[in-house]
Amino acid sequence: MPGDHRRIRGPEESQPQLYAAGEGEAPAPRDPARLRPVYARAGLLSQAKGSAYLEAGGPKVLCAESGPRRAEGGERGGGSVGAGCEAPAALSGRLLCDFRRAPFSGRGRDAPPGGGEERELARALQESLEPVGRLGRYPRAQLEVSALLLGDGGSALAAPLTAAPLALADTGVETYDLVVGCSLSRAPAPAPAWLLEPTLLEEERAAAGLTVALMPVLKQVAGLLGSGEGGPTESWAEAMRLGFEGCQRLYPVLQQCSVQAAHRRGAAAPL
Amino acid sequence: MYHSPIKGSREDLRVDGRGCEDYRCVEVETDVVSNTSGSARVKLGHTDILVGVKAEMGTPKLEKPNEGYLEFFVDCSASATPEFEGRGGDDLGTEIANTLYRIFNKSSIDLESLCISPREHCWALYVDVLLLECGGNLFDAISIAVKAALFNTRIPRVRVLEDEEGSKDIELSDDPYDCIQLSVENVPCIVTLCKIGYRHVVDATLQEEACSLASLLVSVTSKGVVTCMRKVGKGSLDPESIFEMLETGKRVGKVLHASLQSILHKEESLGPKRQKVGFLG
């Protein structure tokens, strides 16, 4: 467990014994476009303005959203690419995203929170959510979305990408559409094929990975993050098409979840 | 006269007269810092980047005992733009460092050549990027500078001597010019394509970046293989635009690599007697 010497006196570096076991396992062959069954529920946390829980096979994520509340800080713009002449921060709302992994979510005990990977994924989450919220309607306001990954079963970024907009919609903030996230991975040679929603085993052995976030009704891509040896551009394009199709297939489940949450809220409100 | 970047991009004419796929004039100089194993300075319009690479002996990572490794650190200095004062540049620095980690994959640099003795010693290359001036299109300039600095890196040749008791000793070669040079053929470069209006432009200035709501960052190797893709910005992109931008990125990337390779080889062939411009040019 790197770093946390104040609480626990232990060796500098350690690794779980699972490293040696399971080397010979090969992922079972399966239909490349199969989607895992999804369970989604919005409006489950009493203390958050909006919340959503999503379970998609392996990954389990809990998203909570608080706000809109008064924005802190001055006119400093955010760290977007090429910090330059941005519109003044007061004209539209700000979205702050936080992504955390629970220490027990992965196979080995993870590093304490705040690591580089979490900040990168929080940034990816923010960039995918910004197109969907009508932030212009909430000037000088700040919306905070926090995603907690409770279990990692492959596709760790796709699940929060799907749950966070559900939480946002649950708050009652105006949005253009929902966002659905889908992840893909490319198996290494000799059979390089793109697989939709990889399991943890498939993701570990993958040569490349891609996560797409699509707004299904508007058919616009809200987020895209991919890296690895994906091969030529045609291969990446094929992966994106597979991802978009997967997002469209997932959308009815989330739409239904959102409607059910709205009914529950409506029924609970005092008349 | 008022120039509109949005209307202009439709007709393949930008504010400074470039076409949509043209880069600004790039100046690359290597070996600018004497205390490093390799360094490079890149000026792309008003964007100025300095990269230093230091090779140090380290222990290989647990899961990769036969390989060395690269570590990226990005520092956005306050002189680049007033917004980087204090901790302001940290977020951007982390974002750039994370992107650099993503674009480098197994085939970019031969990490096994950096291994000295498995599980015990390896070369760790610390790549430090310093943003001196920010004039738009940071990612492209940084990736060019990193590639040039890695090309310029010279790692001393070492031998592992084992004596009778089994203890190992590392011997450095006596000749200071006896070095390993890294092959940077597969090191990718980033091409950022900004969506402005209906078209996309390469190498956006600060003004053009302000007009663009979304960009696609593509990392391409010299052979046209894409190693990383990322959508940046607050807006959304149409799937068809993404496919087009990917093709443009690949095309532009290949041309960029070809020019960079030829310039780096030409500079190296001038030998130690070449005129160094440094920071006064």
Q: Where are the domains of chain B?
A: 17-273
Q: Is residue A248 helix, strand or coil?
A: helix
Contact B242 A244 (CB under 8 A): no
Q: Least CA distance to B92: which residue of chain A?
A: A79
A3 interface with B at CB cutoff 8 Å? no
> For chain A, which domains are there?
39-69+89-268 (3.30.230.70)
Please give, one letter per residue, the 3-state secondary structure of B161-193.
Answer: EECCCCCEEEEECCCCCCEEECCCCCCCEEEEE
What residues of B are in contact with residue A215 (Cβ under 8 Å)?
A: 236
Contact A82 B137 (CB under 8 A): yes
Return the percentage of chain B with pLDDT > 70, whole number.
Answer: 93
pLDDT, average across residues A192-206: 85
Q: How far is residue A125's CA from residue A94's CA, in Å, rounded to a whole number? A: 14
Q: How far is residue B159's CA from residue A141's CA, in Å, rounded to a whole number? A: 61
Q: Which of residues 129-188 of A touch B (CB under 8 A)?
A: 130-132
| ipTM score of complex | 0.85
Q: How far is residue A178's CA from residue A63's CA, in Å, rounded to a whole number? A: 14
The pLDDT of residue A85: 39
Q: Residue A122: in which H helix or E strand, if any?
A: helix A116-129
Per-chain mean pLDDT for chain A: 82
Q: Are strands A220-228 and B47-58 parallel, antiparallel or unpaired?
A: unpaired
A20 interface with B at CB cutoff 8 Å? no
The pLDDT of residue A76: 43
pLDDT in tens, B34-76: 889 999 999 998 899 999 999 999 988 888 889 999 999 999 8
The pLDDT of residue B56: 92
Is the pLDDT confidence value at A110 over 70?
A: no
Model-wide pTM > 0.90 = no
Tell me, what amino acid is at B114?
A: L
Tell me, what amino acid is at A109?
A: R
Is the pLDDT confidence value at B155 over 70?
A: yes
Per-chain mean pLDDT for chain B: 87
The CATH number, out of the four listed (2.40.50.180, 3.30.230.70, 3.40.190.10, 3.40.50.2300), of the domain defined by the range B17-273: 3.30.230.70
Of the candidates A210, A207, A138, A123, the residue with the CA atom closest to the CA atom of residue A168: A138
Contact B134 A83 (CB under 8 A): yes
